[in-house]
Amino acid sequence: MKVGVFGQFYHDDSEEYVLTLLEALNEKGVKVAIEVKYLERIRHFLGDNRDYETFFSFEDLDSGFDMFFSMGGDGTILRTILYIRNLGIPVLGINTGRLGFLATVQKEDIRQAVDSIARKEYDVVDRALLEIHTDPVNKDLSEFNFALNEVAVSRKDTTSMITVATYLNDEYLTSYWADGLIIATPTGSTGYSLSCGGPVMTPDSTGFVITPIAPHNLNARPLVIPDDTEIKLKVSGREKNYLVSLDSRLAILPEETVITIKKSSFAMRMVELRTESFLKTLRNKLLWGEDKRN
């Protein structure tokens, strides 16, 4: 078995859990390749001269990898996509950050997680991605034009609202007067969209949600649509440019740019241990179980 490891540091004790992961994998005879910059950051914690295989970018990975470990939080998994892309390598998120809807394995449970993987006690589920195209073409979005959580348009250099004319399969829906508009996947429904009043969608839902950001249209509400819908956005406002974000990546687009969003041709494959579930994560992360009546 061969795995890749990529991570980011969120807390001072993060290195302890990286060592635990590497030791557990080594005990199982697993071949490990570590992202170059991450290895540089953890090298002085390793305490040995062991040589690890490394990778630098998407071009260094191939189908020979059985799994990918993401060490950090949900943001780290979003960065992991830039390495995985359409290779179909399953990703397991280990949470050394905070909330962790995607990084579901807690840092204290790393050894148990590796044991479960060695026994093949896990499932691999597909998470839908969004794909964006712009007219005219924007070079900043030509290579990394996909998002796991959401695509969002928002105002830039102004406190004034923008107007987002929205079309579904070329049929006019409405024009949102707002600070911006979010198109979220089921995975992203527990992120930015949720904080703006959008619904929670289970990961296996076959739909996307359109959520306005601070709309001035008082009757504007989040809308769930089928995931085979093509969404077209035309933004206007007082400034000549606006922002578009794909997960945590930003680009500046001129006002005349038309954005087309649709379901990506490939999915993100996530590893789910059988001791975890999305509903359990909801109870733990959103504190639904804190109601004393339960």
- Domain spans in the chain, listed from the N-terminal domain onward: 2-127+267-290, 130-263
Catalytic residue among 13, 60, 62, 74: 74
Q: How far is CA 200 from the centre of its chain?
A: 15
> The domain at 130-263 falls in which architecture?
Sandwich (2.60)
pLDDT at 127: 96
CA distance 80 to 190: 19
Tens-of-pLDDT digits for all 294 residues of the chain? 999 999 987 566 677 888 899 999 999 999 999 999 999 888 877 766 678 899 999 999 998 999 999 998 888 999 999 999 999 999 999 988 776 788 889 889 999 999 999 999 999 999 999 999 999 999 888 888 999 999 999 999 888 999 999 999 999 999 999 999 999 999 999 999 999 999 999 999 999 999 999 999 888 999 999 999 999 999 999 999 999 999 989 999 999 999 999 999 999 999 999 988 888 888 888 887 677 676
Name residue 72's amino acid. G
Residue 274 tokens read as 């059988």
**Length in residues, the chain:** 294
For residue 30, the tally of other CB atoms under 10 A from its CB is 17
pLDDT at 10: 59
pLDDT at 48: 61
Residue 281 tokens read as 């994560």
Assess whether 135 carries a catalytic annotation: no
Question: Among the CATH numbers 3.40.50.10330, 3.40.50.2020, 3.40.50.300, 3.30.9.10, which is that of 2-127+267-290?
Answer: 3.40.50.10330
Please, which residues have CB within 8 angstroms of residue 294's CB and are 6 or more apart in sequence?
Answer: 288
